[in-house]
Structure 1
């Protein structure tokens, strides 16, 4: 059994003169939660729609579960929630899923299993129109779970949810991964990606900027020091970490050094007669990295989603 679920090579989608997705090459591994991160309008949804066989690429190739996107072999083992769930408003949640189950030739028993997994079993008999936005999103995930697919593709699953709904959805995605399913999750919410994703692909203006773990993206930890006099503290920091690893910020001194260097640095500062007010680990946030990678001319969400 291959360890790779999704592979793209130079995947490109052009609408006339507009380049929506530009030469995207990525890999999603079995059993991971892969975060597809980018600003609104970056090309996330267009890429996912190509992987699901809903639209054809202009050029490049993609493989989903060892098959071409949209083929019966690929579709049967993939569940998806893209651009929000669409259900009959006057049918109950359970009956909506039954309609989909019969269309997919999935037994009705799978409906109750899916409702249980998204914590909607006690509300399955209620009309869809009475559901909150969070419940509607969870029912959408339940529909994607019918047939127990190997791969789940979720496009902005927390979009429009209140904070409590976001927490519920993150917990659900984490549970799905624990169940053994591979999840490809698109999002523009950094906290969402940082909390639940194993690896991240960052897309901006249709191009994949990088693909890495969250830890690797954030880079090595740093130390932040606030001490006086600053010039003497700076000299000591350079002796400890090296000239190129130390820089002055508006509010103190930052060193490219792990927190294991903190005790040695603190002792050196005190021995040099420096008044030490603060020393702590200071990691780059995913937000810092994200904006560094995606800063540039704004793109139209209508044009590129």
Structure 2
């Protein structure tokens, strides 16, 4: 077992934040921690990383107590960019980690190249954009090739291209055997990397496999549109028309059949967009129809 959290409680004064939280993470999986702002996600992550003491309960990492500082040779925790120093360069930050953990410069440069920060590695952090800081934090988190990677809002401040790269990185790390626990308010991206989600509500944990709630929706741009509409209607395929595009759920009909019906009638397919949803639907069921995923700032 990579991570075991047992009956963890935490209160601030008379206000309970975590009420007997328990869960386990096995090897090579990505699990998301989701909840409204103030639900205690960051508190829980800080307790796991032994940066904050729990009132009661235990946390075991790689078979040892999380209070054993040796765990950080195999565990990384990516926090908010407030941990960065404006007057140091990205290289300085990575070099400090490498010196503490006995890592080589080759490992430093490999992490920087993998994240794509080599072009500004020698610049001071005060000149970094929010996205550049997020990239540096990711490089700092993977430089020691951790077995357990804990990420607090890793997609915060990233443009769509960078978010795609981070998603691909997470999937690649999982394939290499890294177990990942991440908190995020970006439910769309969560759906793309995992269906294992821990919902935190009123200090209690709701553990879900979202396979039962997952929906895959396709949007197709096809010409001529009128012919495409007539073809799908004749074939009895349920669809929606929006902004000149065709939309349908995979549960209603497979993409292969839709494409086959259209191409057989001489319809040209210009573009296909795939959207996976599941966490948002379940989030609304748990937290209410008007609920929104949390903002980055959090207790």
Q: How would you bin the TM-score normalised by the shorter chain? A: 0.7 to 0.9
Aligned residues of 1:67 and 1:73 also touching (Cα < 8 A): no
> Could you tell me how far apart the structure 1 residues matched to 2:105 and 2:63 are?
28
> Could you tell me how far apart the structure 2 residues matched to 1:284 and 1:138 are?
26
Matched, 1:122 2:119: yes
Equivalent residues in 2 for 1:179-194 (5 A)?
179-194=176-191
> Could you tell me how far apart the structure 1 residues matched to 2:129 and 2:173 are?
22
Aligned residues of 2:185 and 2:296 also touching (Cα < 8 A): no
Aligned length: 245
> Could you tell me how far apart the structure 1 residues matched to 2:23 and 2:185 are?
18
Secondary structure of 2:138's aligned partner: helix
Matched, 1:163 2:160: yes
> Could you tell me how far apart the structure 2 residues matched to 1:198 and 1:11 are?
24
> Could you tell me how far apart the structure 2 residues matched to 1:158 and 1:302 are?
10
Uncovered stretches (5+) of structure 2, i.e. residues with no partner: 218-250, 254-275
Pairwise CA RMSD: 3.1
> Could you tell me how far apart the structure 2 residues matched to 1:61 and 1:83 are?
25
Matched, 1:215 2:211: yes
Matched, 1:80 2:77: yes
Tell me which structure has the larger Cα radius of gyration: 1
Task: Give the one of 95, 104, 108 matched to 2:101.
Answer: 104
Equivalent residues in 2 for 1:1-305 (5 A)?
4-84=1-81, 86-212=83-209, 214-218=210-214, 259=252, 285-295=278-288, 305=299
Aligned residues of 1:85 and 1:136 also touching (Cα < 8 A): no
Deviation at residue 98 of structure 1 after TM alignment: 0.7
Uncovered stretches (5+) of structure 1, i.e. residues with no partner: 222-257, 261-282
Aligned residues of 1:20 and 1:303 also touching (Cα < 8 A): no
Deviation at residue 39 of structure 1 after TM alignment: 1.7
Cα separation, partners in 2 of 1:90 and 1:16, compared to 1, 3 Å: closer
